[in-house]
Amino acid sequence: LAKTTQPISMDSYEGQEVNITCSHNNIATNDYITWYQQFPSQGPRFIIQGYKTKVTNEVASLFIPADRKSSTLSLPRVSLSDTAVYYCLVAYYMDTGRRALTFGSGTRLQVQP
Amino acid sequence: GAGVSQSPSNKVTEKGKDVELRCDPISGHTALYWYRQSLGQGLEFLIYFQGNSAPDKSGLPSDRFSAERTGGSVSTLTIQRTQQEDSAVYLCASSTGQSNQPQHFGDGTRLSIL
């Protein structure tokens, strides 16, 4: 059974590094893992995506182990403006053969001063 | 505009009425997605359009829900005989349609059923 799991919430302080892990068994072999950030009353915003190992851009890093059963979003030196909900997005192949994109349930990150 | 545009931004209607929600994707994007997000919850996939292919309707929760995409651009999500449990934010996203290209989201339509 395809299941995507994230921690419900995390707390941090400004300047700290935050790591959010998404667990996802048996994801589609050819699809990337994508992470989004969502602020209240806005649509999700793309942060980063990757297939394997490590990807880094100007706002985050993404670590994906070789078995691709999880992925970890790393936010360096968070600020108050990073307070948001973070979602992972993966693809599964259903029993019918249909490819289904599935969002995790989201992790609410609260950054304190 | 450069982004995905959704209208209206807010919609309040009475139970039993029909509603239409509109999505204008980014120009040139061939893939279009609709999601539903209930208060404080994650994103629930509803329907996916890709070019001229038959849409993936597997996420539509009942036959009261339908969607069209005319001319490969604008999409309309229609909910007939609305129920209170239909109250949610309806989000639209588009992408280039190429493999593993990220989705770009609009800010959604907040639907409230009285």
Q: Which of A43, A49, A103 sits opposite B100 (nearest CB)?
A: A49
The C-alpha atoms of residue B91 and residue A10 are separated, in whole angstroms, by 25
How close is the nearest chain B Cα to the Cα of A31, in Å? 6
Please report the DSSP string for A41-60 in residue order.
TS--EEEEEESSEEEE-SS-
Sort out which chain B residues have CB atoms less than 8 A from A41's CB and list them: 107
B40 touches chain A (CB under 8 A): no
- A49-54 long-range contacts (CB < 8 A, ≥24 apart) are A49/B100, A49/B102, A51/B100
- Over the stretch B88-100, which tens digit does the pLDDT of each residue have? 999 999 999 887 8
Instruction: Please tell me chain B's helix, strand, coil percentages from 3-state DSSP, rounded to the nearest 5.
Output: 5, 45, 50
- Taking the CA of residue A87 and the nearest CA in chain B, the distance in Å comes to 8
Q: List pLDDT tens digits, range B58-74.
A: 999 999 999 999 887 99
pLDDT tens by residue, B18-73: 999 999 999 999 999 999 999 888 899 999 999 888 899 999 999 999 999 988 79
pLDDT in tens, B79-89: 999 999 999 99
